[in-house]
Amino acid sequence: MSHNSFGHMFRVTTWGESHGPALGCVIDGAPSLIEITEPEIQHWLDRRKPGQNRFTTQRREPDTVKILSGVFEGKTTGTPISLMIENVDQRSKDYGDIKSKFRPGHADFTYQTKYGIRDYRGGGRSSARETAARVAAGAIARKVLGDGVQIKGYLTQIGDRKIDRSRFDEAEIDKNAFWCPDPVMAAEWSEYLDGIRLGGSSVGAVIEVVASGVPAGLGAPIYGKLDSDLAGAMMTINAVKGVEIGEGFSAAALTGEENADEMRKGNETSPRFLSNHAGGILGGISTGQDVVVRFAVKPTSSILQPRQTVDLEGAETDIITKGRHDPCVGIRAVPVGEAMMACVLADHLLRHRGQNG
């Protein structure tokens, strides 16, 4: 049991606070002889990096990753891979308000209650800054999975505005600030979020992550189901309040006939499925189809609108959260969701090999 680790065969332990000297992760179980370099990990970190446009926090962090162990002459050795990212732009001068008041929607009250102490600077351990370590781990996970598995995340909804699936164009995803596959909606979101941002408000989002090329057979019933591990993994991401696989909540309204993914003659190892309501997972095991996960992110809790709260002594007060924040934290959750998908799949690949290889 470890509260700060996930995975079993491919096991990631993260550490670090928002305003401490550094953060990082230790990856245990990666196979040996995998070629990996700092620039390859940096590539994925740069996608998550804050301050890249006006819709994400203006904190300036280079998020430069260092490999401290587990890689020798450019290859993994089978020993733990320690990755570290130093914090540079903490700006922790003034924390008066956060120090003594509980911000609604944040973990201030619960950390204080559980631990009797909290590193209030930038939210400490509960800050989304921790997800940089996951993205670094995800870079290794992608290497474990190999090029045959491709993982792609994007936003399908910001606030109440959803993409139009008929305009879905994967090539658009990297062309806008929102990882939006619908260019029309990308433009609309831009305007919409400007309003939210200037009003000192925030808004939620829905992210979809798709993994293609996943071999059939990954996942371990009953309590190591691939969908269970994905749901648990996505729910660990800051501000996530819901997770769906494939059809998700919409499946409740379907009939058995509608929801059945019928099969026709396929290749040697697999039938051809006529649909993918299941999101690529049946009985907790991958079918070989695309694995499709969606998760909902609540609006950023740090807003400039005053909210009622109490202070450490329980006295009533108001709070406004000044500082550098994302009007929609869901945007930066995309690379994190991809990383979690990669880590869960890598873990199950190794587990499958162990029991069934």
- 54 belongs to an annotated ligand binding site: yes
**166 or 223, CB closer to a second copy?**
223
- Cβ–Cβ contacts within 10 Å for residue 11, how many? 19
- 228 belongs to an annotated ligand binding site: no
* Smallest separation (angstroms) from a second copy to the CB of 175: 23
* Smallest separation (angstroms) from a second copy to the CB of 22: 5
Please name the residues in contact with 160: beta carbons below 8 A apart, sequence gap of 6 or more: none
- 265 belongs to an annotated ligand binding site: no
Region binding a second copy by CB under 8 A among candidate stretches 3-11, 44-52, 168-176, 183-191: 3-11
- 5 belongs to an annotated ligand binding site: no
- 324 belongs to an annotated ligand binding site: yes
- 202 belongs to an annotated ligand binding site: no
219 binds a second copy (CB under 8 A): yes
* Angstrom distance (rounded) from CA 329 to CA 241: 13
- 69 belongs to an annotated ligand binding site: no
- 302 belongs to an annotated ligand binding site: yes
**Burial level of 294, CB count in 10 A (0-12/13-18/19+)?**
buried
**50 or 299, CB closer to a second copy?**
299
* Smallest separation (angstroms) from a second copy to the CB of 237: 9
Task: Give kind and range of the element (H or E) at residue 235.
Answer: helix 226-235
Whose tokens are 């991809």? That residue is 338
* Angstrom distance (rounded) from CA 274 to CA 353: 28
Near a second copy in 290-329, by CB under 8 A: 296-303, 305, 307-310, 314-316
Contact pick of 50, 204, 335, 337 for a second copy (by CB under 8 A)? 204
Secondary structure (DSSP) of 153-196: EEEEEETTEE--GGG--GGGGGGSTT--S-HHHHHHHHHHHHHH
How many residues sit in the footprint of a second copy (CB under 8 A)? 155
Q: Which residues pair with 240 in a beta bridge?
A: 297
Q: Which pair of tokens denotes residue 48?
A: 């998550």
* Smallest separation (angstroms) from a second copy to the CB of 166: 21
* Smallest separation (angstroms) from a second copy to the CB of 265: 5
228 binds a second copy (CB under 8 A): yes
Secondary structure (DSSP) of 262-298: -EE---SS-PEES--TTTTEETTEE-SS-EEEEEEEP
**166 or 308, CB closer to a second copy?**
308
Near a second copy in 125-164, by CB under 8 A: 125-126, 130, 157-160
Near a second copy in 33-72, by CB under 8 A: 33, 66, 68-70, 72
**51 or 248, CB closer to a second copy?**
248
* Smallest separation (angstroms) from a second copy to the CB of 150: 21
Distance of CA 64 to the CA centre of its chain: 19
Near a second copy in 77-116, by CB under 8 A: 77-82, 84, 102, 104-107, 109-111, 113-116
182 binds a second copy (CB under 8 A): no
**13 or 171, CB closer to a second copy?**
13
Q: Which pair of tokens denotes residue 140?
A: 């290794």
Region binding a second copy by CB under 8 A among candidate stretches 36-44, 117-125, 172-180, 184-192: 117-125
- 301 belongs to an annotated ligand binding site: yes
- 197 belongs to an annotated ligand binding site: no
Buried b (16+ CB within 10 A) or exposed e, 103-126: bebbbbbebeeeeeebbbbbbbbb
- Cβ–Cβ contacts within 10 Å for residue 337, how many? 30
Q: Identify whether the C-beta of residue 261 lies closer than 8 Å to the C-beta of residue 275.
A: yes
* Smallest separation (angstroms) from a second copy to the CB of 354: 3
Annotated binding site for NADP(+): 48, 54
